[in-house]
Amino acid sequence: MIDQISIILKIFFFTFGVLIGSFLNVLIYRLPRDLNIVLPRSSCPNCNKMIRWYENIPIISFIKLGGRCSGCGESISYLYPIVELLTGCISLWLAPEYLSYEHLLNYLFLFTIMCIFLVHFIVDLKHKILPDSLNLLLFLLMLSHGWLFYKWTFWLSGLLVGFFVPFSVTWLFYLITKKIGMGGGDLKLYGCLGLYLGPIGIIYNISLSCMLGAVVGGLWLLVAKKNKNEPIPFGPFIIVVSFFQIYYFDFFCRYFPCYR
């Protein structure tokens, strides 16, 4: 009986994640274009045919339609089912072992952060922006968490260090080179993360994300033979480091000096 309940719960959390993933696809498409995220209903970007409800079932509709629009036959991006499947797996991975009030709240908190990270990651890669609306939501989540569980000196100092350290470096870089080294969205993201990670944690984040960005960005420019002056989205590097800091917290506490 217990095994049956466990299976049902796993199916529920996976399905819930897939449905949320469908909404994340809407955010990924509409936020960079400053479109309303609720209305109108989804339509084909090629022929503007309204997508009927049975053509909008996550993953299943993509398979049934053969990955093509039922109106014009234009291919549908594989990003849609990938995001839905990935969000379902994330939800299943974070699913609480016990359905207590505390565990469910913790699940919703971590799952929401992961959803914001995922949208930020893809939008920044495709459009080189980090939407302010998502940074604001992340700020409110991190501030609420810090207010409830940390001393005010911890989250406030994390916010200040997270914003002003990279801002100062970016400003100094601009004065020397007359080039913008880091976008405003990245600075805001650092500030939001500082609320949760604290001053030491966000310093590690800044250092590691810059090192990761330098290595990956350098390899990308070398392999892809891109112009060295072409901007590289930096948000994904911040998000990757933040993911490991948040979800593998014990590892950082064990191997990184003075982490907490």
The predicted pLDDT at position 1 comes to 57
d(CA 169, CA 73): 49
When pLDDT is cut at 50, 70 and 90, the band that residue 112 belongs to is: very high
Looking at every residue in the chain, the average pLDDT score rounds to 88
Q: Is the dihedral of CA 17, 92, 15, 68 positive or negative?
A: positive
Query: Torsion over CA of 188, 193, 140 and 93, rounded to 10 degrees?
Result: 130
When pLDDT is cut at 50, 70 and 90, the band that residue 245 belongs to is: very high
d(CA 127, CA 182): 15
What contacts 217, CB < 8 A, 6 or more positions away? 232
d(CA 184, CA 191): 11
The SS3 of residue 142 is helix
Nearest to 45 by CA among 17, 18, 80: 80
- What's the rounded mean pLDDT across residues 85-90? 96
The SS3 of residue 68 is strand
What contacts 40, CB < 8 A, 6 or more positions away? 50
- What's the rounded mean pLDDT across residues 91-109? 90
When pLDDT is cut at 50, 70 and 90, the band that residue 260 belongs to is: low
- Residue-wise pLDDT for 203-235, tens only, equals 999 999 999 988 988 888 777 666 666 778 899
Q: How many CB atoms lie within 10 A of CB 63?
A: 10
Nearest to 49 by CA among 61, 40, 57: 40
* Tokens matching residue 105: 């709240």
- Residue-wise pLDDT for 135-182, tens only, equals 999 999 999 998 988 898 999 999 999 999 999 888 887 788 777 778
Q: Which residue has better confidence, 55 or 210? A: 210
- Preceding peptide of 40 cis, ω within 30°: yes
d(CA 2, CA 27): 37
Query: Which residues, in sequence order, are bridge partners of residue 75?
Result: 68
The DSSP result for 70-126, as a single string, is: TTT-PBPPTHHHHHHHHHHHHHHHH--SS--HHHHHHHHHHHHHHHHHHHHHHHHHH
d(CA 42, CA 51): 6
The predicted pLDDT at position 156 comes to 94
pTM above 0.85, yes or no: yes
